[in-house]
Amino acid sequence: MARPKSENVQINISIPAEWKKELENLARIYSVEEGETVTFLDLMRRGIQEKYQLGVRDNE
């Protein structure tokens, strides 16, 4: 069975290694608080969404 087509796009960015380390640490804290796995990429998505007030979408 074919996967449903996603409207998401993939981009590649570079961030300082220290930012990634800090985001991973924050993601661990959020994971415990929320009771589910949160990745540093989830935090980046949330931050961009909040900063620019983008429409809410479920992560696919």
Q: What is the DSSP letter of 56?
A: P
Single pTM value for the model: 0.79
Contact 42, 58 (CB under 8 A): no
Question: Would you give the end-to-end CA distance of the chain in angstroms?
Answer: 17
pLDDT band at 60 (very low <50, low <70, confident <90, very high): very low
Report pLDDT digits (tens) over 9-44: 999 999 999 999 999 999 999 999 999 999 999 999
Q: Which structure tokens are listed for 36?
A: 């589910």
